[in-house]
Chain A
């Protein structure tokens, strides 16, 4: 049987990719090592978080599935950074590790354009540098017009605990042993990365009275712009806060040599994420910190596991026991699953175009941890974009490439293909230069039209957006005309502009009743007008450089006077524009002006 699109891997990237392609009407095959592990959450039990929560909303705005599935299965919802400015607010749900994958699996199986097969892909069949088919480990060859690799941490996966190294995928699954070698043969540069996960504790062995309760918000939120909340505020599951002790730190320091990260395993290790250090890393690096926070988080309503956020480690089991029992409230805790680290192969994402198509093989796309990222949301959004762009490619349409001023997704993909990765890439708010434009509250206003254009957002959803836009404009216009007498007579617009005033104090002066979200949007636009304009201006500057396209066939060896580091980096990345070139580390403004001069000459000569 032939397919239009084959998605290899059923994690968060794979699910989005399969839905995007299938919802765009393409016959899609999802190949997964095990069907009941589809959309599994092998690490933390969150969907969202700082910056990541905004990505989930962006996925929803574009027509992806993560937000809706999370909304329907969550245990707790929080708006992070609520006390800070609107630009940095972000939703985080405690996801149910049983309910979330189950719902995702059901939706996939229901979809008329999606078939699922349980097997591993061993090799890719290439003709004329174009993907033609995949070869399964059972020897079957399945043809497709486009293939999306979302192999997660499975390529040559090794589980590390203390001084032991086991060939295995997460939670005892089968690793993919041959694919990365075959990718390397095709010319891909292979990276070795590593990530870790903390121990899981049996809930009823924890004395929560020694910890601090961390409930969900008492206000309803949803990731999705379409769905109403499915949870009840008072039925949210709380998390709990505890701390490491002096005793914990002593155990760690005494046993450092047994940690696989600190030398128990001498062979070359993958690079772990800087932003998510292991507890031994934290204790060693921040010696003067007396204690570190640990969050005890429920993983599901359907089983007993408590996840110890902040306690990932690669110590052997006996040391982990001692460490866990040194924590307040966990003196008698029973460990259900020990912490482990996983090491895996990834490709260098600089081998990708911003569409996530590989530069080496046409119609081959990669998304998620295979591209060196970390996190469910980072994976999901790449899966969505790869699914959209693979579909657009076989429809002979231009790819959808989101700008850095348009979406965190745009920031993430541009970072990956331009800068590459050293350690597993996590999205951070600081990675976005124009984050005042990239808010949680306006993801639909930013991206729904793209979703509509590519066909993942329907007419009804789109009309809802248009109506919202109109209403926001109406509110602003009306506020400019109405006046109020505060300390002096002023327009309501100027009144709302003042930081201390709220639009909800004066909403009854408006001619019609507007939706809460519309009023909130108008208020943000009014209050931060000056800064929003500033951000737009900066973004325009970037667009000017972005518009200066570098000819595809440029030979950097012919460009005189480039600094040698810049020459090497430019040859590696082959940026599409001067804007992208400037973001490459090691390429300096002076190299850009040399390049710019050369390009002027190049174009003149070719005119």
Chain B
């Protein structure tokens, strides 16, 4: 536990500098072995100029931050080496640290130490991971909300109310003959139960919006060959130079790129496998296309203005009819041969301008509002499923209540809601939870 860990904390190969972080008892002494000035004489929380050396060879010109325990992220001694960017020199620094006694950090280990050493609570730990993952300004804002404890505050507010009820019920039981104590009534419980239901459902909805901000909208561009899917995609990409190519997380297998529209990410689902085929639906099989469609949050179905509606188009329209979709009629600069009666379509010419499509996406997700709103949201599925569990226990509470179960037994539900909510902020104990949680964290922070 108290061995010294190190990792490259910035994205590899990107940016002007890279930071290598070292944490643990021997952090300072290990870095001192490969630094050309005496770090042990430096004050805490200072940044120091010098060189990383391997024997007599200078590896990199660096700035080294010294932060001594306990006022650090992990509550251990931390040294951060700001190297010049570039994979090779940064890797060399890391290598030197490893050969001098540090161990490569496991995924999420810095954050895990921060959590285990009581520096941050569970929600904050998860938020830190979100910060690292934050790809847009909005996502960063949301991550900060988590760190500042907005979610913790909300949960504490609800839990406090429930504790109040329970302690009142308890007093009623322990002092049954005393009129001095207010008797917890069914209507009071009902009121709080309603309050919880509203708050938690609101939190869920905001979380879903938050999820869109953080993870992006999984978007599938669908259409027969030669309707102009690629040109629409290219146009979207060209409009926004900030394309992210390497996607982490669950969408890794199906997403080929990310585009930012307004403040929100579109994860473009890879349709490479179906683009070249004669018959989209036939070739990939109904099941696979259904799966792809299922995974998508948004379908952009492209039709060709210059051709009449084909059987294939009709099939595509049919299988996407229950999804959130935008039907794009492309090639409007050519002669209209397509009959779009009864369809809500966006007409574009991908060779010229697709702003109207972007506006449509913005409208669809109310991006304007998302961008400006101070959202309180849960950052991952573990938290969301716990909120859903709390809502369902709360429903059970109301049902039991209506069927005449005595108040002192209802208390069991109330307590379970508290425990479920506490689990979100890590205030109850579950061995596996913590292991699972930290395994999901990425390397280096």
Complex CA–CA separation, A594 to B116 (angstroms): 7
Q: Given A430-B170, A531-B409, A535-B412, are A593 and B429 also a contact pair (CB < 8 Å)?
A: yes
Expressed in whole angstroms, the Cα–Cα distance for A47 and B352 within the complex equals 91
Task: Provide the B1-17 mask, 1 if CB < 8 A to any CB of A, else 0.
Answer: 11000000000000000
Nearest A residue to B423 via CB reads A589
Q: Which of B97-155 contact A (CB under 8 A)?
A: 113, 115-118
- Total contacts A-B at CB 8 Å: 95
CA gap between A289 and B179 in the complex, in Å:
11
Given A50-B174, A429-B174, A589-B428, the answer on whether A560 and B412 have CB atoms closer than 8 Å is no
Q: Which residues of A contact B404 (CB under 8 A)?
A: 499-500
Do the beta carbons of B408 and A593 come within 8 Å of each other?
Answer: no
The answer to whether A582 touches B409 (Cβ under 8 A) is no
B405 and A85: CB pair below 8 A? Answer: yes
Contact pick for B406, options A84, A597, A598, CB 8 Å = A84
Shortest C-beta distance, B125 to chain A (Å), equals 10
| Interface flag for B180 (CB, 8 Å) | yes
B5 to chain A, nearest CB (A): 13
User: A592 in the interface, Cβ–Cβ < 8 Å?
Assistant: yes
Q: Does B233 contact A (CB under 8 A)?
A: no
Q: Give chain A's interface residue range (CB within 8 Å of chain B).
A: 35 or more
8 A Cβ contacts from B418-445 to A: 426-429, 431, 434
Name the CB-closest residue of A to B25. A560
Residue with the highest number of chain A CB atoms closer than 10 Å, among B403, B407, B412, B427: B412
B322 at the interface (CB under 8 A from A): no
| A47-63 contacts to B (CB < 8 Å) | 50-51
Q: Is B55 an interface residue (CB 8 A)?
A: no
A293/B427 in contact, CB under 8 A: no
Query: Given the known A-B contacts A534-B416, A590-B116, A593-B116, are A51 and B426 also in contact in the complex, defined by CB atoms under 8 Å?
Result: no
State in angstroms the CA–CA spacing of A528 and B410 once bound together: 11
Interface string of A513-556 (1 = CB under 8 A from B): 00000000000000010010011001000000100000000000
Of residues 152 through 173 on chain B, the ones whose CB sits less than 8 Å from some CB of chain A are 166-167, 170, 172-173
Residue pair A598, B1 in contact (C-beta under 8 Å): yes
B273, CB-defined interface residue at 8 Å: no
Residues on A with beta carbons closer than 8 Å to the beta carbon of B1: 560-561, 594, 597-598, 601
Is B116's CB under 8 angstroms from A499's CB?
A: no
Docked CA distance A293–B429 (Å): 42
Query: Is A436 in contact with B412, judged by CB distance below 8 angstroms?
Result: yes
Whose C-beta in chain B lies nearest to the C-beta of A563?
B118
**Which of A84, A286, A538 is most buried by chain B, counting CB atoms within 10 A of its CB?**
A84
A545 and B429 form a contact (CB under 8 A): yes
Tell me the chain B residues, 162-198 only, with Cβ under 8 Å from chain A.
Answer: 166-167, 170, 172-180
Q: Chain A nearest CB: distance from B174 CB in Å?
A: 5
Q: Given A87-B409, A534-B416, A561-B2, do A589 and B427 touch, yes or no (CB 8 Å)?
A: yes
**Across the interface, which residues of B come within 8 angstroms of A429, CB to CB?**
170, 173-174
- Measured CB to CB, the closest approach of chain A to B189, in angstroms, equals 14
CB under 8 Å from chain A, chain B span 387-415: 403-409, 412, 415
Given A84-B407, A531-B409, A593-B429 in contact, is the A50-B2 Cβ separation under 8 Å? no
* Interface status of A442 (Cβ within 8 A of chain B): no
CB distance from B11 to the nearest CB of A (A): 29
B345 to chain A, nearest CB (A): 53
Residue A88, interface by CB 8 Å: yes
Inter-chain contacts of B170 with A (CB < 8 A): 428-430
Please, which residues of chain B bring their CB within 8 A of the CB of A50? 173-176
Interface centre among B75, B177, B404, B428 (most CB of A within 10 A): B177
Please, which residues of chain B bring their CB within 8 A of the CB of A85? 405-409
Q: What 1/0 mask marks residues of chain A from 567 to 607 whose CB sits below 8 Å from any chain B CB? A: 00000000000000010000011111110111001000000
A–B Cβ pairs within 8 angstroms, 8 of them: A428-B174, A433-B415, A531-B409, A534-B412, A535-B412, A561-B1, A589-B426, A589-B428
Q: Known pairs A293-B178, A594-B1; list 15 more (Cβ under 8 Å).
A: A85-B405, A85-B406, A85-B408, A289-B180, A292-B180, A293-B177, A293-B179, A293-B180, A295-B177, A499-B404, A561-B117, A563-B118, A588-B118, A591-B118, A597-B1
Chain A to chain B: the 5 pairs with minimum beta-carbon distance, closest first: A85-B406, A430-B170, A499-B404, A589-B429, A560-B2
